[in-house]
Structure 1
């Protein structure tokens, strides 16, 4: 499976995955960004290696109604979320090995550990309030 590109007609599908407690691995990028264009193939390859997770490509300009308030400092920015718990939000190197390690480390944690980590720092608590993709999708509807 390859990643899907977030569009207005598939937002409900992404929200449903989160509602069921599934993992979302979202990449926030922009069509004009050369790094993002180069990274897309590696992101799709990661999706193929993790068929148990939903990989979502989000163009921050096309989906400004969803991500408008998110603080995207650089590209690519990854958002890893399981259910309503944001496990990671931040810029990462456009390197499949780095992303693979990040995904494995987060997905290897059980729900209790994810909850503990989500509350472990001001930054992570902020992710829960500001970066929850399920909430952002609902607010954009």
Structure 2
């Protein structure tokens, strides 16, 4: 009887663990212009915090490699996300902009491109994660 109870508890705990499964997103960034600096990324969860520095869900960087850069974002719970990327060629860990706020460094977004008058909206960039996901991003 005692063993059966412990077995049930373990099954319930594992069920809770599996219901909060974490997923991997494999990202390939194409069009990297040089080996200089890093390709920096930021992952956002909602439209309200999209492109706000203090509201990044996950961020990171990978060494730039001319042509393409591959990296993975691990342990993402199921949900809707958007990714913003920039090629930080001068390696100062910030997106350099001109006086009008227009990026001086190459930028890109998941599923969307820069618009004529500013960045795309969260919903334009968003993708769903509910299993292993591959994203291809073209940097301009």
Scaled to the shorter chain, the TM-score interval is: under 0.3
Compute the TM-score of the two structures, normalised by the length of structure 2. Answer: 0.25
Compute the TM-score of the two structures, normalised by the length of structure 1. Answer: 0.25
Would you tell me which structure has more strand in proportion to its own residues?
2
From the CA coordinates, give the structure whose radius of gyration is larger.
Answer: 2
